[in-house]
Each structure stands twice: as structure tokens, then as C-alpha cells.
A = this chain, B = another copy of it.
């Protein structure tokens, strides 16, 4: 019984270069239309993206604490395909589509079993404490390329 696993925050896992992150829909996520509020998919995406990058080797919180910089979302394209409802078990699947010097492009989908619920392409830019774009930490870029490679090799 993986009891100790249940005492640490859930982080999802990589399967064939894609990060899989399960999410339950709570009241906080829904709106009076009875469905998940559209902006909240961006919150699901942030959770999954953070844990994907952490598993790949990027400690974002430590970088913020050390005043080294942080990721900011530069662009987001979202398409909403089907509604999700209270209690649904969703799966956020995230893929590092492109790793550039100062930014990553991440493709993210929300699935409910085999049904596509929502999909997005997020561009996150690394910025210094002054808010200006900056080269991502070099070891992170290597780590991210490794994750990409595992996908293309799969």
C-alpha cells in the first residue's frame, strides 16, 4: 500500500514523453452553468505544467525564492470542445512542443476518458526579477530537450 505516497502532493507522471496529471472537478471549478468555468482550465494547466517541469528537473519555487526569475505566460490559445461537470475525473496531458532559449511552448489537453474536453497551447517565457525576457537556466533547457526526445523516440 503506497500510504506514504498519499502523504505527498500528487505530481502526475510521464508516459512516453507526455505528462499525465489527473484532476477531480470540485465546486470551486464550476459555474452556474453547471460546468467547469472556462478560465479554470488555465488553472488546471498551470498545475500540470508546474509538476511536469518539476519532474523534468526545474524547481520553479526555488528560482523564485532565490530571485533568479520565473515563468510568465506570454500567450495562450484555448479551444473548449465539451463541458466537464462536478465530480468528473479529468486527465491533463501536457507535451513540451518547443524549447527555445527564453521560452517553452507547451501543448496541453484535458480528457475525460477518451473524450476531448479542452485543449490549449501555452507559451511560457522566462523573465528575470526585472520582468524582462532572459535565457532559461541552461540545465533546464537540456532537461526539457531530454523529455522531448523521449517523446519523439517513443
Knowing A9-B24, A31-B27, A70-B33, the reply to whether A64 touches B86 (Cβ < 8 A) is: yes
Q: Are A28 and B31 in contact (CB under 8 A)?
A: yes
Whether, in the assembled complex, A39 has its beta carbon less than 8 Å from a beta carbon of chain B, the answer is yes
Count this chain's copies in the assembly: 4
Q: How far is the CA of A31 from the CA of B32 in the complex (A)?
A: 5
A22-B6, A32-B32, A33-B27 in contact; A75/B80 too (CB < 8 A)? Answer: yes
Q: Which residues, 4 to 44 on A, are CB-close (under 8 Å) to B?
A: 5-13, 20, 22-28, 30-35, 37-40, 42-43
CB neighbours of A57 from chain B (8 A): none
- Closest B-chain residue to A33, C-beta based? B70
A61–B47 CB distance below 8 A: no
Query: Contact check: which of B13, B25, B32, B78 meets A6 at CB < 8 Å?
Result: B13
Task: Report whether B87 and A61 are in contact in the complex, using a CB–CB cutoff of 8 Å.
Answer: yes
Q: Which residues of B contact A87 (CB under 8 A)?
A: 59-62, 64-65
CB distance A23 to B2 under 8 Å?
no
